[in-house]
Amino acid sequence: MFIVAKKARKAWHGQLQWAQSIQLTPRRYNCGHCGNSELSDRGFPTQDQKIGVWLCPECTFPSFLAYDDQCPGPTAGKLIAHLPPEIDNLYEEARDCLTVSAFTGTVLLCRKLLMNVAVSQGAVVNLSFQAYVDYLLNAHLVPSNARQWLDSIRKKGNDATHEIPQTNREDAVTILEFTDMLLRLTYELPQRAS
């Protein structure tokens, strides 16, 4: 259901009509489909209403809630305007990975995004990841003090690729935040300024 919902989310946003949904005890949660955090009071509960399926009042997609657990999990990262389609697809995939606790996948995709951003801004294909970091800095596409967090994306991505231990949630969230900043600086803010 989650993959179908992701593909259809834009087309069906707020349009689904659920047969036989009932009024529930309102619950606040961050929708894993649209990020909405308003109270939901419609869905399909168990008898005690601590476990069930709540329908998002914004997008109308369902989320399974069991006490403090949620599936799909809260949407990670933020929407970013003006991304080229291939960059947007990779970023959405990284966000989705974090939503389903695929932390290593999140970091690997962020590393790949670093390369794709540099190439989309004129870097040569098949450089090392260090060369892509240097390109972004030397072409003044990011501020000079961005080296540390760009290197974090590169290094954590290298660890996720070449080391045995899995990536933890904290590292994945941090790397996604750094990637978010890279994408905003490269694509969103220049468009907003013009």
**Model confidence pLDDT, tens digit, residues 35-77:** 888 899 999 988 888 899 999 999 888 999 998 888 888 878 8
| Cis status, amide bond into 165, omega within 30 of 0 | no
Query: If you search the block for the tokens 């970023």, which residue do you land on?
Result: 91
Q: 85-99 and 103-120 helices cross at what angle (nearest 10)?
A: 170
Name the residue ranges covered by the structural domains of the chain: 2-71, 85-193
CATH of the domain spanning 85-193: 1.20.120.330
**Reported pTM:** 0.76
Q: Place 19 in a pLDDT band, splitting at 50, 70 and 90.
A: confident
In the predicted structure, residue 117 carries a pLDDT above the cut 60 = yes
3-class DSSP state of 191: helix
Q: Place 13 in a pLDDT band, splitting at 50, 70 and 90.
A: low
